[in-house]
Amino acid sequence: MKLHKASAAVAAVLTLSLAATACGSGEDSGSGGDKITIGIKFDQPGLGLKTPDGKYTGFDVDVATYVAKELGYEASDIVWKQAPSAERENLIKNGDVKFVVATYSITDKRKQEVDFAGPYLLAHQDLLVRADDSSITKVEDLNSKKLCSVTGSTSAQNVKNKLAPKADLQQLGGYSECLTGLENGAVDALTTDDSILAGFAAQQQHQGKFKLVGLKMSDENYGIGLKKGDKDLHSKINKALEKMKSDGSWDKFVKANFGPANYKNEPAPEITEAS
């Protein structure tokens, strides 16, 4: 009797699981009403930020929302999932997200694991300094300065190893800590992608305090990461990005998210990652 009850319970669980799976399968159809899960950053102002009231803002969020709409999803159909840099490939490969829009630079190494659509933004490594600091106009000026970046940052190592070997590199836990140090004079400059720097500088509490130096120490083509071999989705995302550029939405998103930092962005890049 007990065995019969257990079998019935297992059967019920299996039935529920199958039903749930069937319900979830609509995510891939692109039809309205179903949900789509998209990976973004939760901690990058101007790009991908989860605000204290639970909203999501930033350029990457605007781009992802636009692309999702072109795929047949309303903003209310989107489930946002945090995509830290080290987890982006795993989230895509495991099917935890449909695609990732998270300051995701297209590199040959990453293309071995995932596919990219785009690019949709060309960023460059740059420096952020105090608005009244005229002593740093080129990267070599950092040789006598304190440079801040986050722990493990390739940007910081790029400066230290190749461009300004005598810079006093301070590595902190997050960009917000570097900004605090920059504001109070504990450090002289912060380095990472100019888009990320502009996002922080454009925050209301930081407006007017900092400026981008305007150096182009690297080229970072941001792409939308998706599962390898999904040619249909790849083609649809590229088509959406082309439309976003042509109808003026791309310019609107740049101005809304980076405008207060006087970010001198590159024009919308040509889409080169064909499916």
pLDDT recorded at residue 130: 96
Q: Which of 88-97, 171-180, 235-244 is the least confident region? A: 171-180
**Residue 53 in this model has a pLDDT that exceeds 50:** yes
Tens digit of each residue's pLDDT (9 = 90 or more) over 4-14: 544 444 444 44
Superfamily of domain 125-212 in CATH is Periplasmic binding protein-like II (3.40.190.10)
What is the average per-residue pLDDT within 202-210?
89
pLDDT recorded at residue 22: 39
Q: Are 150 and 86 in contact (CB under 8 A)?
A: no
Angle at Cα 257 formed by Cα 201 and Cα 156, nearest 5°? 45
- Tokens linked to 142: 């950092």
**Residue 3 in this model has a pLDDT that exceeds 80:** no
pLDDT recorded at residue 225: 98
**Residue 18 in this model has a pLDDT that exceeds 50:** no
Give the chain's largest Cα–Cα span: 84
Tens digit of each residue's pLDDT (9 = 90 or more) over 141-170: 999 999 998 876 778 778 888 889 999 999
Do the domains 31-123+221-261 and 125-212 sit in the same CATH topology, yes or no? yes
Q: Which of 16-20, 109-113, 136-140, 230-234 is the least confident region? A: 16-20
pLDDT confidence bin for 30, thresholds 50/70/90? very low
CATH class in words for 31-123+221-261 = alpha beta
- DSSP one-letter code for 105: B
pLDDT recorded at residue 180: 93
* pTM for this entry: 0.79
Among the ranges 41-50, 80-89, 114-123, which has the highest mean pLDDT value? 114-123
Tens digit of each residue's pLDDT (9 = 90 or more) over 109-124: 999 999 999 999 999 9
| Domain coordinates in residue numbering, the chain | 31-123+221-261, 125-212
Buried b or exposed e, range 174-206, using 16+ CB within 10 angstroms: ebebbbebbeeeebbbbbbbbbbbbbbbbbeeb
The residue type of 91 is L
Sheet harboring 36-40: ordered strands across? 78-82, 36-40, 99-100, 220-226, 115-123
pLDDT recorded at residue 28: 44
pLDDT confidence bin for 87, thresholds 50/70/90? very high
pLDDT recorded at residue 6: 46
